[in-house]
Amino acid sequence: MPWGIWQFRQSIERRIAANAAAALLAAPELSIYRLEVEAHQDRVTLHGRVPNQYLRNLAEQVAKTSLSNLPSDLPIDNQIIAVRIPPDPTQTASEVERAIATFNQLDGIKIRANFANGKVTVTGSAPSSIDAQRISQSLSQIPGVDSAIVTIDSTPPVIKTKIFFPSESAQITAKEAQKLKQVKEFIRSHPKYHLKIIGGSDRTGETEINLRLALERAQAVKAALVAQGVEPQRLQAASRAELSISEGEPEWTSRRVEFEIIKPK
């Protein structure tokens, strides 16, 4: 190759490398890493180390953009290595604790976890195996967690919501109607279960009349839930002669509707 042509190519390659290097240095996410650029006759090669794949891809994109204004269509040979930096174990443990606390706020879930050497071991109880899968997937996504072993007992979910009624009435008050949203969300988050809506009454008056009123209360709650979009086939209305009340609770608390979980066969 004639000396003049060789020098010309060398100057173009130096210009290409300088442009790409300047662009990498100007990118805030990449400026702290030592990245090198080599321009050759048939390609532009990138060298260096970054902590993740995202920055590796970003460096390649920045280099390509820097070449767009130059009379060159050389391909990028990305030799940058994405090096995994071990997360702080203390921070990982805190993230695990936060995730466990979040799950324990859900109905029917009561779990605890132990984190050591990148491994999370979870024990406790949850309504279904689906919950166990969700817990495992969530923990596995935390940086620093290499594996998550979830061993939990499947227990039926529990709904503690209660709808209270005025004396001798099956009318749902505005205040109590606000609780129906909790029931609706519970049903939608547990698609494998149905609900028995159990109406109750106080001991004032005749038992037959009280049972009829209790059933009307259960039917009123069922109708309200259906009106909010809950499938009627997942709801059963029933009455009970007496609903238990804790010692010290007033008699009026027996004028209520409570819910029982049913798992269809």
Boundary of a domain, candidates 154, 173, 192: 154
pLDDT average, residue stretch 219-245: 91
Taking the CA atoms of 140, 142, 147 and 152 in sequence, report the sign of the dihedral they define: negative
- What confidence tens digit (pLDDT) does each residue in 190-221 have? 888 899 999 998 888 888 898 999 999 999 99
Cα 27 from Cα 65, distance rounded (Å): 12
pLDDT at 2: 56
pLDDT level of residue 72 (50, 70, 90 thresholds):
low
- Out of 1-15, 82-96, 156-170, 218-232, pick the least confident: 1-15
Structural domain that includes position 227: 163-262
Compute CA distances 239 → 3, 75, 219, whole Å: 101, 76, 9
- What confidence tens digit (pLDDT) does each residue in 133-188 have? 889 988 988 888 999 999 887 777 788 899 999 998 999 999 999 999 999 998 88
In terms of domains, do 117 and 62 share one? no
pLDDT at 6: 47
Q: Residue 47: which CATH number? A: 3.30.1340
Helices 89-103 and 129-140: angle between axes, nearest 10 degrees: 150
In terms of domains, do 132 and 187 share one? no
In terms of domains, do 75 and 116 share one? no
In terms of domains, do 254 and 235 share one? yes
Contact assessment for residue 111 and residue 122, using Cβ atoms and an 8 Å cutoff: yes
In terms of domains, do 179 and 226 share one? yes
pLDDT average, residue stretch 109-130: 87
Taking the CA atoms of 42, 48, 49 and 55 in sequence, report the sign of the dihedral they define: negative
Number of domains in the chain: 3
In terms of domains, do 9 and 64 share one? yes
